[in-house]
Chains A and B, each alone.
Chain A
Amino acid sequence: MSHSSAATVSEKSLWDGGASPMGASYGKLMMWFFLLSDAFTFSGLLITYGLVRASHPAFEGLPDAFVFSTEYWPVPEKVFEAVPFLHGYSLPLVFVGIMTFILIMSSVTMVLAVEAGHRMDRKAVEKWMLWTIIGGLTFLGCQAWEWTYFIVGTDTPTIVKDFVNGQWITKEVTGASLKINQYGPQPFADFFFFITGFHGFHVFSGVMFNFLIYYNTVTGVYERRGHYEMVEKVGLYWHFVDLVWVFVFTFFYLV
């Protein structure tokens, strides 16, 4: 069984790799810098969204008069107003709000797992990791539903201009894909799939990591190792996923 450096740092070996730079273990530092680079990736996506959106005209009329059109960028709260089991009701941003709440809660259960790990409380780590996994899976389920709804579309179609065989034609469109989009200009749908998809994939990987940690906790790997630092490292990743969602929520759904 390999012993991690963090637990067995001796103060003497300052220049022999004994002491960690910046007061954090190698693994934790690398996680921090990976997350910094990942932050740049997400910034690239969100800022490109900002660029493309700024180059399209905004909808100028009153909110109630809003209809889907490829002539202007859609108002997000008019696009995302569906909630499962409540078909036909206009509930703008409610479902996204629920998703945000789920992700924040799973972040809380993750810190509680880290806190339990500091106390070597295996039972509590197991409990909180399981809640975190459930939160992540629930979020993914919500996202699957949201994507399905976005792809299938609303009850009434939108007239969309499309370039087919060298000429512009108009046709009725419901739903959206990477090729055609009923909600507004084509890039709107493309960014929806890319940004929420890339974030969703991070959540998916996070759930996988969390499960691995849960498994190792249950089998007593960390107890034998003498510390639960792996819970902290994966916790950093999981909080980052929550952090990115906070930005996606603001810049994709609210603004």
Chain B
Amino acid sequence: MSLSSALRGFGRFWLDFVVGDDWKIAAAVVLSLLVGVALTLSAATGADWLAPAIGAIVILVFVVEMVIDVRGS
């Protein structure tokens, strides 16, 4: 086995490990956390609503992804 194929296999293993078999879930999590970053940067330090609001966004994006997934299947 050559070095390049070993590296490709190693990369594929970790990509599969992190992203899993449905890339849309990974994309939904990244998207919701990016919105969370924007809110964190713009909100006042110590705002009580910030963590629950970002949590709600994570859940909402997951629900939207599931609905789109089922409609498209």
Q: A and B: real partners?
A: no
